[in-house]
Chains A and B, each alone.
Chain A
Amino acid sequence: MESSFPTSPTENVPGSVADPTESERLHRNLTPAIAELDDPRGFFRYAVAALVALAVALCGVFMFNAIVDPLSLIGWRIVPPAVETDRSIKLDLIGKLKTNPQVVVLGSSRSRQAEPAFIDKLTGLKTGFNAGVTGGDAADAWVMVRNIAARFPHGKRAYIWFVDYKLATAGINPQLAQDPRSRPYLGNRSVSFSLADVGTYLGFQATDASYRVLKACIEGPCHGHLYYHADGSLKGAALKYLPEDAPSLKAAVAQKLAAVKHQPRSLAPFTSAQLSYFDETLAFMNRHGATPVIVLNPIYPSVYRLLQKRHSQREAEALAELHKLQKRYRFVVVDCSNIHVWGGKARDFNNATHVNRRNMRRMLRYIVAHSDGALTR
């Protein structure tokens, strides 16, 4: 029977081949077709042209991205960055505050709809400030809290801090790290432009961001669309441009449902590095006499139902971690995950994770009522 396996030129047993070394060597192809061309000058031109084209293209891409600086890694701010600059805007607004905000809202874009004036009405407090930022994490909360405290060292403040089940990550947003007002509070953990950033600015994502920024500047006003009142709340005009505002709520929810179906049932174990800014911020608030209210963000009802159906442990794990932290720090936990608890409406979501202003107001009523007095004078 003829061998079906790739055959050598001769299939004799080892040792009986006349010159197996030579035959095997001949059998393995070491010379590609291109190498058979005898054109040293052509190859020289080819190699030099390839090298020059590579160098020119990469330098061009880097220069373009470095000048536009779409991710604010360098900090020129010649044009607005591709990502929302609300960290610097909020820090600007804090710098302009005339009176101590008696209530401060912290969190991510999911907290952005909270209006300090509405909270004031509910609590009887006089002034407030929304310090929530896009992708806001514990490091952002830490910097905002410290900046407000630095501005009003003797002022007393209450805090409402919106968090997801993960509570916090160890990451620091590059814009936050770059801002000079953050550096005193981030210490060594703040960053400057590094070699890794060179790689970022050689990449497609940054180039695409630069292109979008420039296109937006050419086609329209060269500034962002998110406008804030002096108290950090969104201006009415900005509501039309919220990045979280999904064109189709149904599609956004379907996408979220698909993602949840394959999400692990449990959170990754909480680590001290992940919670370091969270811990520091809580400790700082407690030291200054505040009992913050930690709010677990609301979840779209069908997504929440799916999590329950899949016996997701995430909510229970987040609450357990918070209860563990309550042994060390003083704070109130209000779980708003299930919108039916606080009378939320499924239609009043901007997407599967962000509530609109109507739902936010409903939620704030519930939060204030369940804050164990932490939000009242």
Chain B
Amino acid sequence: MSEPAATPEPPPGEIPSPAARFELFQRAGGIAAPVLTAVLAFFVGGIVVLATGHNPITTYREIFNGTGLNWFFEVGSHQIGVPWTDANVWFPWNVNDAESEAAFNLQQTLLVATPLVFTGLAVAFAFRCGLFNIGGQGQYIVGAMVAVWVGSSWAGLASGLHIIAAIGLAALAGALWAGIAGLLKAAVGAHEVITTIMLNWIAYWIGNYVFGQGGPLQNNVNESVPVSSDVVGGAKLPILWGDPLLQGLHLGFLLAIAALVAYWAILNRTTLGYEVRAVGFSPEAARYGGISVARNYFLAMAIAGLFAGIGGAVDILGWQFRLGVIDVQNSSIGFIGIAVALLGRNTAIGVGLSALLFGALLNGTSTRNLDPEVFQPELAGNLTLMIQALVLLFVGADVLILWLFSRVRRLRRGPPTPAPVQEAAT
């Protein structure tokens, strides 16, 4: 935020770029706005729960317990093994308890949050370059498709190498997929919202074709089922915590944390990140400063796709082990990633926390965790969607509020900018 390029006020007579408006929204929010947004969404959600004749407090408590986050309440003196060594260090929570209900639920919450971190970063990274990447879903699917292809073939490969190859190629595929949109934006100015949506559908239909009846990647065990072959044992990610048969928490979780760190480092500690942000703040100023806008559009999209592609790969190699037509059709991880990025204000910590929130919501409201006495299972699924939608609505609304706020302040402060410019800004 300290760069000179960060000025959000457009020069008079010029239409402010989406990035400038976005910057306003980022700057004024800080930590309070996203937290308030979430709290407000839960509050309104509670009113709706009340309207359906249920007690919102017990319902929310039940949801919270379903997320497994109550596992953290059991604080004690325990040991945790350091990965890849025999050493144990002190840890406040008992990770050796992998079987209890809370531990199992927490594993599932983190398992769902993991791909959300990646798709959230995919949206956030493009956002920082002033691009709205709606294509997280397609990039995630492409990554998953490549991962399942690599993971289910090449059975002779050594385990570690196989995993690296699968994740690496999936990342590359995601990067290429999103890179198409970046390239089109850079070369001919095709709007990335349109092209990424189109690429989503192309990925969707490729998935339908390759895993469908008679498709090239359909399994050869049961031809009536439109699903890929299974990932071989050597390509499966190691399980960090929990029962390997029952979707224990896999290594992808650590990769997600590493991705958050990498995201922060790229943006804040590299020339590339500086340029990406400069283009995001103002493409014109960046160009004037000697930064190639076209190159950064392409790179920003490619890196965004890289994140989403890894997200698809860790889901496949971590717990899913196969990909079917229905998975391609039904998945919405990429789209939830948009909400994750918006709520997380495109910062590394924000994306991490909001991925956790959305993962917890998806898992906590699952009907297996909601006692039917507390909240009917028929309504529980809609409760998740409702809270998600409310979060999005309030994220959108607070942009509006901030904009109004800044406008009032500007009017009070001094020479008003010409009215037509303000019209254009809306």
User: Do A and B make up one complex?
Assistant: no
Interfacial residues, chain B to chain A (CB-CB below 8 A):
none
Interfacial residues, chain A to chain B (CB-CB below 8 A):
none
